[in-house]
């Protein structure tokens, strides 16, 4: 399968080149030319499959054309050396525990997969020069990448992290390993670290001399494998409660939006998710975009949820892209004003702004329900809240404490039926 740039100004490349480069020559992010749809039989029997069996099927759909089957399955099995259990919290609320990996971070899945895939390509090429992996981190990415690549022959990792803005435990996880891991403290924010990484990729001389790539979620080999555990979550829910599995809403804490993007890809592959909740903290540029239709990146604000402190999420470029390869006649949008796409023939759930109640139908065939603060489990979304908000919202909301002041949706379908906390 070929991978094209979200900026659409370079020719599509192979998986190997996309993984090796990390970032396209035109500063865009790589996207697969198509998102394969998994057969209905897979979802019919998904609750009988193990985590590894599910992940092999998903990996085959994306990487099967570029990686020999037995090698790909070994990479998957080696990556998923730990479980990701779905735990019942209360009522119809479940938690997918993504902290059972070696660094207690959900990114262990993507980082371990990428390290093994990159090592596979290096062995296939017989490359003698070491590959240098640059990664910017606000905490958990650095830990997961450092651990995932530790001791991998032919690869050296450089972790850039903001001074004083990473938890002490996470800082110890990637500054004390040695061997092929080097940590670099930056006097700035995560966005500064990310800009430095991107600038290094766009320096032709530096890129050639050091053979650079990235292990942030800008790399397709880092974020795509994160879709594995969305399928696994659905399989577990189907075993625990088949009725609730048909009414699945997923809440994702969002920083650089790699995890959310992986969930959207899983949905496009056929995973029956009704909607996604993109939970932001004070760094809520995505919420502002849903309200206004204009994307305005800004410097990140430090919070206690440091892994979510991103003011210019890279994967936003992937979220707004159509999930198919562009034609030669298509061009990048020249301004930061993004058009709201029209509804397709079969109207999916809508994206609802919690301030205006305005609906915008997306090509992703799912909806992103934003939450301005971290999601609270105290109030659950009503079963019929997935109803598109494109209908007339003339009646005032009778539950003002749960809503934004200007929301006029009936309480049963109120898109603001979440609580928030600082």
Catalytic positions, please? 107
CA dist 143 and 243 (Å) reads 38
Dihedral Cα 233, 235, 236, 242, nearest 10 deg: 120
Do the Cβ atoms of 223 and 3 come closer than 8 Å? Answer: no
CA dist 342 and 16 (Å) reads 35
Tokens, residue 82: 């730990």
Greatest alpha-carbon span in the chain: 68
Length of the chain equals 422
CA dist 365 and 319 (Å) reads 12
Do the Cβ atoms of 200 and 134 come closer than 8 Å? Answer: yes
Q: Alpha carbon of 417 to those of 61, 100, 115, 293, 371: distances in Å?
A: 37, 31, 41, 22, 10
CA dist 301 and 196 (Å) reads 18
């Amino acid at each position: 399968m070929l991978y094209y740039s979200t900026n659409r100004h370079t020719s599509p490349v192979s998986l190997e080149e996309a993984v090796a480069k990390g970032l396209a020559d035109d500063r865009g992010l790589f996207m697969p030319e198509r998102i394969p749809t998994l057969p209905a039989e897979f979802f019919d029997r998904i609750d009988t499959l193990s985590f590894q069996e599910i992940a092999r099927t998903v990996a085959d759909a994306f990487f099967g054309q570029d990686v020999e089957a037995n090698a790909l399955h070994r990479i998957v099995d080696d990556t998923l050396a730990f479980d990701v259990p779905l735990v019942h919290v209360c009522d119809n609320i479940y938690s997918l525990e993504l902290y059972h990996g070696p660094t207690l971070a959900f990114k262990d899945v993507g980082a371990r997969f990428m390290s093994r895939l990159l090592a596979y390509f290096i062995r296939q090429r017989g490359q003698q020069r070491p590959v240098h992996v640059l990664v910017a981190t606000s905490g958990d990415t650095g830990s997961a990448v450092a651990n995932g690549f530790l001791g991998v022959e032919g690869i050296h990792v450089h972790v850039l992290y903001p001074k004083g803005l990473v938890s002490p435990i996470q800082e110890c996880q990637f500054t004390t390993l040695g061997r092929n891991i080097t940590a670099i403290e930056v006097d700035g924010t995560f966005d500064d670290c990310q800009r430095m990484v991107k600038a290094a990729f766009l320096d032709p001389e530096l890129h050639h001399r050091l053979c650079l790539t990235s292990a942030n979620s800008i790399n397709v080999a880092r974020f795509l494998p994160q879709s594995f555990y969305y399928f696994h979550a659905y399989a577990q829910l189907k075993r625990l409660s088949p009725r609730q599995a048909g009414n699945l809403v997923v809440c994702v804490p969002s920083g650089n939006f790699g995890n959310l993007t992986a969930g959207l890809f899983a949905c496009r592959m056929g995973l029956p998710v009704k909607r996604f909740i993109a939970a932001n903290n004070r760094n809520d540029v995505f919420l502002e975009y849903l309200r206004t239709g204009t994307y305005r990146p800004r410097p990140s604000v430090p919070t206690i949820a440091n892994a979510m402190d991103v003011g210019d999420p890279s994967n936003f470029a992937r979220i707004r892209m159509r999930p198919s390869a562009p034609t030669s006649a298509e061009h990048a949008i020249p301004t930061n004003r993004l058009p709201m796409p029209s509804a397709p023939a079969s109207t999916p759930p809508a994206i609802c702004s919690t301030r205006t109640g305005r609906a915008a139908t997306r090509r992703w065939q799912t909806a992103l329900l934003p939450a301005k603060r971290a999601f609270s489990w105290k109030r659950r979304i009503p079963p019929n809240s997935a109803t598109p908000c494109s209908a007339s919202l003339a009646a005032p909301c009778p539950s003002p404490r749960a809503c934004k002041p200007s929301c006029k949706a009936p309480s049963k379908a109120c898109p603001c039926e979440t609580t928030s906390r600082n």
